């Protein structure tokens, strides 16, 4: 029961980033162009799939949640993480970009850009140094082989030669 509570509590972050902040930014905005709305829904759908997939991987394989107060206890290098180090954040960015298209909102686009910059700083200053301490050489090798934002064409497999 405690684990379920931690998982539900960790949803505060994506709900805030993906729903509450965009609603505050554009509280009176409506869909104005069907073509952009459809394109936005495609971005949003792909982003949500990535987000849900990585959350499931964090819970099942990493034995943690997406929240910094309940991080994964095992290094995850499979699933979407075999292609890119930050698939969850890429998913969130795709959802935000989709929302900016659906509502033709420059303000939500700026929020997506700010979210990207904040996460770049967070990863560089806090998360990645912590992962290096926690997982040592295993993480350092993974970090060498898998980019933070640009996906690999072939999945990373730590047991094989992974030169890019």
Per-residue pLDDT tens over the stretch 39-63? 888 999 999 999 989 988 988 888 8
Intra-chain end-to-end CA distance of the chain, in Å: 43
Tell me: pLDDT of 141 over 80.
yes
Q: Are 119 and 45 in contact (CB under 8 A)?
A: no
The residue ranking higher by pLDDT, 37 or 126, is: 126
**Average pLDDT of the chain?**
85
Q: Please give the model's pTM, rounded to 2 decimal places.
A: 0.81
Tell me: pLDDT of 9 over 50.
yes
139's tokens: 């993480």
Cβ neighbors of 157 (< 8 A, separation 6 or more) are 82
């Amino acid at each position: 029961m405690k684990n379920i509570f931690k998982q539900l509590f960790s949803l505060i972050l994506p709900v805030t980033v993906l729903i509450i902040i965009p609603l505050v930014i554009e509280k009176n905005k409506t869909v104005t162009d069907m073509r952009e709305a459809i394109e936005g829904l495609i971005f949003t759908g792909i982003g949500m799939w990535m987000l849900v997939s990585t959350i499931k991987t964090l819970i099942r394989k990493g034995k943690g949640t997406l929240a910094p107060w309940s991080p994964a206890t095992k290094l995850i290098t499979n699933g979407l993480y075999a292609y890119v180090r930050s698939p969850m954040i890429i998913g969130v960015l795709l959802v935000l970009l989709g929302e900016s298209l659906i509502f033709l909102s420059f303000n939500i686009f700026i929020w997506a850009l700010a979210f990207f910059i904040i996460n770049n700083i967070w990863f560089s200053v806090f998360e990645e140094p912590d992962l290096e301490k926690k997982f040592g050489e295993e993480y350092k090798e993974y970090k060498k082989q898998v980019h933070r934002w640009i996906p690999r064409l072939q999945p990373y497999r730590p047991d094989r030669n992974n030169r890019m």
